[in-house]
Structure 1
Amino acid sequence: MMFNRLPFIALGASLLIAQCFAADVVPTEVQMPGTQQGQAGNFESPDKCDNCHSGYNKTNPEYEPATGWRGSAMANASRDPIFWATMAVAEQDFDGAGDFCIRCHSTKGWYEGHSTPTDGSGIPAMDDNGVDCDTCHVMTNTDNSDPVLQGAMTAPFIANCSDKTLAPSGTCQSADEGFYGSGILSLWNASSAKLGPYVDADARHQFMQSKFHRHVDFCGSCHDVSNPVVGDLAPGNGTQPGAPLVISSQDASGTPNVGGSVVDKAAFNNPPYAYGVVERTFSEYKASAFPTTQVADFLSLPENLRHPGGAIEQTYQAALLAGTGGNYADGDIRYFSCQSCHMRPVQGAGANKRGVQVRKDLPQHDFTGGNSWIGDVIKYQDSRSQLRLGDGLTAVQLSAIDLATERAKQHLQQAANLSVDGNLVTVVNLTGHKLISGYPEGRRMWLNIKWYDGDEQMLREDGAYGPIGVTVANPAGGTAVEVESIVDLTGANTRIYSAHYGITQAWAERLVSLGVSGDIALAYDRLSGEVVTTLADLAAGSADNVAESFHFALNNRVVADNRIPPYGMSFDEAKRRNALPVPANQFGDPGVGGVYDYYDRLTLNPPAGAVYATIDLLYQGTSWEYIQFLHLANNRQSTFLGAEGDNMLEAWLNTGMAKPQLMASITWGSAPVTDDTLGVSSISTGYLQQSGKGKSQTTTYIASSTITVGDEVVIRALVQEASGELEEGALVSMNVTNTATLESFPLVSGASDSNGVAEVRWKTAAPNKKGNGGTALGTYTISVTDVSGSWDGVPTSSSFNLVN
């Protein structure tokens, strides 16, 4: 355990003693404003929601709100093994830190007062649903802008700037600024009504319309994450250089009031983006141009943002289904928000009750990012009775998790575009936040480049991934496992996109002075597992030293961050929100008043004799280096969390080591034509026809070159190798173009099946009742623009007619 109890105590809080493993009283440094425990009313079980919101859409079960949610990381946040392994170390670092983690990973558990002891051992099995239905459907805006829907907040737990010090002396920009981040929520408890975006829901329960649920700030409530401990106690409050000063309990000399009143703490006097940087997904988005860009203005965006099959284009296509040119069906303006991408509209009913209207802008409860590996880890631990919460997964839950895993892979393929011009490779960020974003520890994206000569012999591989010479015993038994990772993390030709955090010398020195053990290992050698540096080493070093560290609860500095900014990211706003690249002069070096590039360019270094190269953009959800840290840093003295590092290592090793996922690929040079060269031999179009009802319902593909407007056009491309063999696993990029208006819609298929068929569906929109809007009628051509792998370059084409 990392803290020794200090001789002073305030409001029942203290730093911890070497024998403590979980606080029974949450320290004031960990507490945050917003609705407090016991104030949110009764959280209903999602099982009750399932009665109406799942089990009725046999064709697209993922369109059901409950089924989409069931498979998501939100629903499984309390099962997430990496959460438990990370919290185990955080509790060692600062006794009580677990309350901060539980607040988001078991919201019902937190609001019903089960977050103490802070190691999670007090959370009952019934609170195993992560971020559940009621959490979102009773949320109100923390800025209290809605005169009716105002959540439960009582002084001093007011989560907005109404009674705070305004800029320039403080970080609040205006009196009506709400606090968005770290699970600081304002929850409605004045009635049992569920809150949502519709005014005309025909629900069997009470409901009230909430404009906040479509608001661009809604998801920010959780997806900026700031460490309140570091924010209050650390020198500089965990900010990046140049950010506004933070109001905290530190006095004029910089000495913090450990255990002091919450009214003096940083979390109560500043918006979450101002201090203790952990994640800045929401701030990255807010600093971009997307919060003020309407989906209907998609065609005015730069061409490389409108890439076929990219996240932005897919969001636009989905929005057109409502028939309002990109806006919501009821006429509300739809901006490029978190919801517009991660809850894309689909056509369907929101519940199984008779008479429930079929909507054309039903938000799919997807919530998917790039986490394509966590489902397998959860299932593995469930099979071995290792889950801390939520074991005994049902067939319904397992199916939902598998569906979500596939959606995550699709999101990764939509997140970026690669292009090559001479020796210049460009990676374009097609998301609304940095590429990549989210919890930074272990997540990374990189370019894997294989160089070949004219005889197809590989000359060099940059960004190679594979065995690194480390073999570990398999905790599950059997033969030892050879660990895989990026082979050369620092190579001149290796481009890795990631964020690295650390601890400054001044903070290390303060921690030691507060009684923290200097023996804490800050980093381990990834090959030998030996300790590289300790807290005492850092504290005794020079004043400008910063040591990289995976200690989530202690890190106070962003050491490096070369993740690609989103479109239109303002230098000034990113600086204010502690979301700048590090160093800040990357991506065009815009400076004050400027805007960052939303792409990265890399000059290639071909080896002598290279004729062509395959360039793959890869993503890994977590790395060996982070898993190793969670395994070694856990001191195994906690009765409840002592095995979590070992369990996480076991699950990671036995589920593919978070195998890297392909995001995009392109070829440099000209590959020799071989039997493996891919081409599209034919393209067909049609639509899906349903027959029967209930369990007898079937869906049939009807081939046709005439499609009725408002239907979904099903496009099928047959992918073959030059040898004639059918190709499985290929992605086909194509353009659908109206021959009269020349408006073009880029699409990317799903992976071709064992019969070589790659399918993509293009949603058309019927005009409204007055005959306005909708997809233009007429003849459309389909042209192949790329096939993943070694494409033959032949642009196979076809056409169809869109009619009334």
Structure 2
Amino acid sequence: MKTSSRLLIAVGTIFLAVAIVSGWSLTVSTALAEKVNPAIAPQQPAHAAQAPNLDLQISVETVIASGLAQPVQVTHAGDGSGRLFILEQTGKIRILQNGTLLPTPFLDISTKISCCGERGLLGLAFHPNYKSNGLFFLNYTRQGDGATVIERYQVSGDPNLAAPASAQTLLVIPQPYANHNGGQIAFGPDGMLYIGTGDGGSGGDPQNYAQNIDSLLGKMLRIDVNQGNPYAIPAGNPFIGKPGRDEIWALGLRNPWRWSFDRLTGDLYIGDVGQNLWEEIDFQPAGVGGLNYGWRCYEGTHVYNLSPPCPGPLTPPILEYDHSTGQSVTGGFVYRGITFPNLYGIYFYADFSQGKIWGASQSGGQWTTALLLDTPYTFSAFGEDEAGELYLCDYYGGKIRRLIDSRGGTPDLSGSKKTASSLYANAGEVITYTIRLENTGTAPANQVQVTDTLPTGLSYLPGSLQATSGAWDDSGSPVLRWSGSLPPSSQTLITYRAQVLPGGGNRVNQAQVSGIGFQPLTLTYALLTPRPRLNTTLEDFVLPGTQPNVISDPILLPVTCDVCHTSPIYDAWRGSLMSQAGRDPLLWAALEIANRDAPGAGEYCLRCHTPKGWLEGRSRPADGSALLPADVESGVSCAVCHRAVEPEPVSDPPDEASSYDQIVRAALALKPPLSHVGSSMLIIDPLDNRRGPFSLGITFAAHPRNTYQTDYLGRQQADAVTRSRLCGSCHNVENPVLSWDPARQQYWLNGDNLRAPSFEKGDLFPVETTFDEWLNSQYATSGVYAPQFAGAKADGMVSACQDCHMPRSRGIAAEPAFNPVNRDCQTTGCLPVHEFVGGNSWTPRLLLDPRWRLSAPDEAPFLTASAEAAQRMLRRSATLTLTLESAQGQKQATVRIYNQSGHKLPTGYAEGRRMWLNLKAYDANGNLLVEYGQYDPLSGSLTATPQVKVYEIKQGITPELASLLGMPAGESFHFVLNNTVIKDNRIPPRGFTAQALATRGLQPVGASYAPGQYWDDTQYLLPAETYSVVATLYYQTASKEYIDFLRTNGGVDAFTLGELWDTIKSPPEVVAVDIYPKNELWFPLIGR
């Protein structure tokens, strides 16, 4: 590739069309060229009035997407999602989200279009209110006659999928030939839809359509898609009430392939592809219609064919070049991003055939242009993202490239922070807030603006706003403002004070920071009120097992395991929630509240979610601020499980690790109870000796210490309980602050700075009982024939946790160079796929959102696979039957749900997790008569009526403890403070005995189940005219009520989680469906 030659207008083949030539009347005045549309840009940066410098070096070597089929447009939806939408000429719209090209197209209309050459899917425009109305528009040439079609679509309930059936045709323009179809559509700053059309093709516009005002060809059209049926003509179109088509906004265009509006000024730049000699850039000042750009009378500023009509006045191009330089202009954009200040205000355009990119600027009506880059690429289009950064479509390369300033320095304020003098406060206290702006970049941060709006619950103390530099203003309190500049390697401190007003919950305070050359920042601080209710310390949360800072060998990073192990091992684990346990937004939102309710409680959470950091002594302070990125990214890593020591010597005969494990147990200071597992009471080998289900019998360089086969790590001949105890270490969770008090007959506080007196089964309040549920099921005692879970196991029997959640497969566990043994599920055992699949399909989606501080966009393929595996697992977990009978002049539907899993349904962490029944009854004509369990996907609310059947566990606080804490009694999401179960109607698994049903933590509350009953029946009385019924069982990871609690009472992470919920609600996943009568083929589920 050639470097930037910075050829200014002295280059003979580049011409500036600013002179009046024969037949032309120059209509672009200096005043119009410099006008700013105040509706778009109320305040223009001061430097924008100067002519931008074209002494630039740019690069397009940064590729953000590849593997595309003939990309012809890249754009954004303006919905704040940060996604880029890419048009493939062959008929698909692809989504680039968080740096990942999603495999499923947003829309595929390839069967509708005529492609290719100059035909195909050519243009996409999102409605300015797309975020609220979900509407977008396409320009394509249709099958058959190749006519241009302008069509409207709507997004589906899934933001990454359009609804193909929503298509509505707005406009059809017949095309006499196969070329010169235009293609670009876009909404202008006035909210109208603009459509660029070519002259209909052939060559030389033989029918002179471009000058024919009764033809829509060779024009810029302008229509109102918010009015009329299917559209209206906007006021101000130049041919309203006159001869000519009312849709026409401008005329005299040959093939306006790509054009754009300047997002600051509203001016329109049109790249009009030339005939034989000249390519041109046309200009339309904002709001000025009726211009005639001269084709076919002129090609550029040069006479082509003056046969009538050639009406005046004609508007010449602002730029043109001849075909010795390039043969097909690609109109671009004015750069209005903030990342590259040197590029600000430059209009970029390119040539498709030659791969050249120019920059142009104007001052006082005079245009200057320069060749900036000469490449081997074929640029079919430029595009903008939401922030105004520019991209190019590399047509034959199938790539999207980013345009960057390759030599300009940039400011960097990403390290700026907002803090306060306290994390907690009671009403009446005065808190000092500090905003530290820090520029660690290599260029000044100019025109920096800070706006800090105090939330309800805080009262600003007048006169307290101060700063170490710049100008500050508190006259608009509670809105506080600061402005100034920051040289490289400098910082500014802004401080103010506020008083806490009465009322509980959080006080989330955000400061917005913007300026030239850096991405806008939001600095957030959450003040939690009131101060902690308990005076706990870290001692209150001590549990038996290996303690921090006692292991000798560090926990290896999981990526080291990827060297040897194959995709069923490492890749499957990488997308699992075991891997992502340290990134989980629900963890961090709940941890903030736990620390507020009981100081130090957060370390208890980190023990399970970030065991590497916990074992190596970085879980204090309990807010996780001392954790390293590797601690968070490792989650529950490979070494944590594979260094785990069996807490009880039950193997008979002894396994390979038995004698060594006894030495480790003997050296342990705090030994876990033998009768119970849970709460991460793990024993971890202090050395990196590794354990697994297979006997290796050889030494590997990658395993410098010993390797052992152990029943505890799932030797497949071992009994189910031994194999599952490791799983129970995290899937039984008890609160160490609350012990059973026989005198009070309830769980009660142990006392401040005092560890629990006992850790035996039932002695601590049960937060989660998944392992104990399984332990009392038929799965644990004799096993269950369940081939839907068994994977490659020939007998179809499942018993241990791993049999379902690490499905059995065939293959090799390591690369053949390290261990070539093929696990065949016969003589060499089965290969356990390490996907650790459960029912949570929501968290993987959250982790792909860049708004979350611990997002993992690079792991999108693994996370997507994890979400899909969770959906499959849910559909295996239950079955549903539906009957309909007549009853006393009405109809009665009976829905029976069978729990096919090895634990309660649903199970897991209690708060916000639920299943519910949705039932819809229809008459013989398909009209909906009644619906129970209605869910609104837009608000995330489940309609609360007596007929709604919700399966869940609700915990809460007894009146006695509530009185001590000064809190309301009853249902509560304060999991550290909850000491009773208010409701538990979850369906037991097979095999629950009367003893299990009466055990604390397992007994139903508000429901009744007989011993052995693993199903539940629900009856519905329906109208007599009921003909057909659809029953659906849904599962949801987190309810709206739980998210609202977190966002109201939590800190910054909970606030962010609330924002994520607003756009990515926890989806109701379909678990089971049945219909009556059985021959019905269609039924509606939850949808938009």
SS at match of 1:227: strand
CA deviations over 1:693-730 (Å, ceiling 9, x no partner): xxxxxxxxxxxxxxxxxxxxxxxxxxxxxxxxxxxxxx
Amino acid at match of 1:460: V
Unaligned runs of 5+ in 1: 5-16, 55-60, 161-176, 240-253, 299-311, 327-333, 468-481, 512-517, 519-534, 539-545, 589-594, 635-641, 679-787, 791-804
1:278 maps onto 2:767 in alignment: yes
Letter in 1 for 2:811: G
Distance 2:975 2:1035 in 1: 22
Tell me how far apart the structure 2 counterparts of residues 103 and 255 of structure 1 sit (CA, whole Å): 21
Q: How does 1:578-597 map to 2 (within 5 A)?
A: 578-583=1001-1006, 586-588=1008-1010, 595-597=1011-1013
Tell me the CA shift for residue 416 of structure 1.
Answer: 0.4
Q: Distance in 1 between matches of 2:768 and 2:840?
A: 16
1:499 counterpart (953, 965, 973):
953
**1:603–1:79 Cα change, 3 Å:** same
The Cα of 1:18 is off from its aligned counterpart by 8.1
Secondary structure of the residue aligned to 2:810 is strand
Change in 2 beyond 3 A, CA 1:201/1:358: farther
Tell me the equivalent position of 1:32: 543
Q: If the length of structure 1 is used for normalisation, what is the TM-score?
A: 0.62
Shift of 1:207: 1.1
2:735 corresponds to 1:227 = yes
C-alpha distance after superposition, 1:113-146 (max 9, x if no partner): 1111001111111212111101110112222444
Picking from 183, 191, 198, the partner of 2:694 is: 198
In structure 1, distance between residues paired with 2:534 and 2:1008: 42
> Cα 1:377–1:235, aligned 2, differ >3 Å: closer, same or farther?
farther
For the residues of structure 2 that align with 1:235 and 1:203, how far apart are their CA atoms?
A: 57
Q: What secondary structure is seen at the aligned counterpart in 2 of 1:617?
A: strand
Other-structure match for 2:1056: 647
CA RMSD across the alignment = 2.8
**Match of residue 846, structure 2, among 377, 387, 394:** 377
Q: 1:30 to 1:234 in 2, by over 3 A?
A: farther
1:340 aligns with 2:814: no
Checking the alignment, whether the CA contact within 8 Å between 2:957 and 2:971 is kept in structure 1 is yes
Is contact 1:446-1:619 (8 Å) kept? yes
Q: Give the alignment partner of residue 364 of structure 1, picking from 833, 837, 851.
A: 833
* 1:363 counterpart letter in structure 2: P
**Equivalent pairs: percent with the same residue?**
32
Match of 1:45 in 2: 557
Aligned equivalent of 1:166: none
- Residue 487 of structure 1 and its aligned partner are, at CA, apart by 1.5
Match of 1:454 in 2: 924
Give the Å deviation of 1:112: 0.5
Contact 2:424 2:531 in 1 (8 A): no
Letter in 1 for 2:961: W
CA displacement 1:297-329 (0-9 Å, x = unmatched): x2xxxxxxxxxxxxx222345311xxxx46xxx
Gaps of 5+ in 2: 1-422, 427-527, 651-657, 715-722, 825-829, 885-892
TM-score (norm 2): 0.46
Once the two structures are superposed, the pairs formed by residues 252-651 of structure 1 within 5 Å of their partners are 256-260=750-754, 262=755, 265-266=756-757, 269-294=758-783, 298=785, 312-320=786-794, 325=795, 336-354=799-817, 355-360=819-824, 361-380=830-849, 383-384=850-851, 386-387=853-854, 391=855, 393-394=857-858, 397-422=859-884, 423-466=893-936, 483-488=939-944, 491-511=945-965, 518=966, 535=967, 538=968, 546-576=969-999, 578-583=1001-1006, 586-588=1008-1010, 595-634=1011-1050, 642-651=1051-1060
In the aligned structure 2, how far is the partner of 1:314 from the partner of 1:458?
Answer: 34
Once the two structures are superposed, the pairs formed by residues 768-779 of structure 1 within 5 Å of their partners are none
Task: Give the match's secondary structure for 2:787.
Answer: helix
Cα distance, 1:200 vs structure 2:
3.2
1:495 Cα deviation (Å)? 0.9
Q: Which has the higher strand share?
A: 2
RCO higher in structure (CA 8 A, sep ≥6): 1
Cα distance in 1 for partners of 2:763, 2:750 equals 17
Q: Secondary structure at the match of 2:539?
A: coil
Distance 1:460 1:111, change over 3 A: same
Judged with a 3 Å threshold, the aligned counterparts in structure 2 of structure 1 residues 495 and 22 are, in CA distance, closer, same or farther, namely closer
Summarize the Cα distance change of 1:156–1:577 in structure 2 as closer, same or farther, 3 Å threshold.
Answer: farther
Q: Quick check: 1:137–1:195 contact (8 Å CA) kept in 2?
A: yes
Structure 2 SS opposite 1:576: coil
Corresponding residue of 2:391: none
The residue identity in structure 2 corresponding to 1:367 is F
SS of the residue corresponding to residue 1061 of structure 2 reads helix
SS across alignment from 1:375: helix
Question: Per-residue CA shift, 1:676-707, capped at 9, x if unaligned?
Answer: x37xxxxxxxxxxxxxxxxxxxxxxxxxxxxx
Counterparts of 2:976 and 2:743, CA distance in 1: 15
Offset, 1:202: 5.3
The residue that corresponds to 2:1072 in the other structure is: 664
Structure 1 residue 216 corresponds to structure 2 residue 724: yes
Q: For each residue in 1:57-99, what CA deviation from the matched residue of structure 2 results, as whole angstroms up to 9, or x when unmatched? A: xxxx4x2x11111000110010000100001111110000001
Cα 1:30/1:255, change in 2 over 3 Å: closer
Contact 1:230–1:238 (CA under 8 A) maintained in structure 2:
no
Aligned length: 526
CA deviation after TM superposition for structure 1 residue 573, in Å: 3.1
Q: What's the counterpart of residue 753 of structure 1?
A: none
Question: Partner of 2:19 in structure 1?
Answer: none
Alpha-carbon shift at residue 203 of structure 1 (Å): 6.2
Indicate if the aligned counterparts of 1:143 and 1:178 stay in contact, CA closer than 8 A.
no
State how far apart, in whole Å, the 2-side matches of 1:178 and 1:36 are: 20
CA shift, 1:356, in A, is 1.4
1:201/1:147 Cα in 2 relative to 1: closer, same or farther (>3 Å)?
Answer: closer
Per-residue deviation, 1:505: 1.1
Q: C-alpha displacement at 1:574, in angstroms? A: 4.5
Distance in 2 (alpha carbons) for counterparts of 1:43 and 1:348: 27
Q: Deviations over 1:260-291 (max 9, x none)?
A: 3x4xx23xx23254321210101111111211
Structure 2 matches for 1:697-712, cutoff 5 A? none
DSSP 3-state at the match of 1:442? coil
1:393 to partner: Cα distance: 4.2
In the aligned structure 1, how far is the partner of 2:853 from the partner of 2:960? 39
- Select the structure that is richer in helix: 1
Counterpart of 1:116 (choices 611, 620, 640) is: 620
Alignment correspondent of 2:8: none
CA distance in 1, matches of 2:958, 2:862: 43
* Structure-1 separation of matches of 2:807 and 2:745: 37
Separation in structure 2 between the aligned mates of residue 225 and residue 351 of structure 1, nearest angstrom: 33
Distance 1:226 1:364, change over 3 A: same
